[in-house]
Amino acid sequence: MRLIILSLVLLLLLIQYPLWLGKGGWLRVWDLDQQVTVARQKNDELRARNAKLNSEVQDLKDGTGAIEERARLELGMIKQDEVFVRVLPPGSTQPQAAPPAGAGGSQ
């Protein structure tokens, strides 16, 4: 009788092994589910980034507001009859002014 119970327990363990640790087992399914979740989150982030870039492209194609903003921020351009004012943070030193053209020590 003991031999029959022992063999049944052994068979039960052998049947359970592929279920938990085999190629299509629960642990593998759980790991793949985690990978799918991470991939979906990354895809959502990339979709949001693509939507933002698409919106910026449409704005550059249709309007002048984005072009003007880029010219101001990236190139430091200002409109005609505007006054440029730079506010320095407290404690910073005043930037060095370039010497006027034609001033120099060489003759």
Distance in angstroms (rounded) separating the CA atoms of residues 50 and 81: 37
What are the residue boundaries of the structural domains of the chain, listed by start? 2-75
In tens digits, the chain (107 residues) has pLDDT values of: 899 999 998 888 888 877 777 777 788 888 999 999 999 999 999 999 999 999 888 887 887 777 788 788 888 788 888 887 878 888 877 666 555 554 444 44
Task: Label residue 66 exposed, middle or buried (CB < 10 Å: 0-12, 13-18, 19+).
Answer: middle
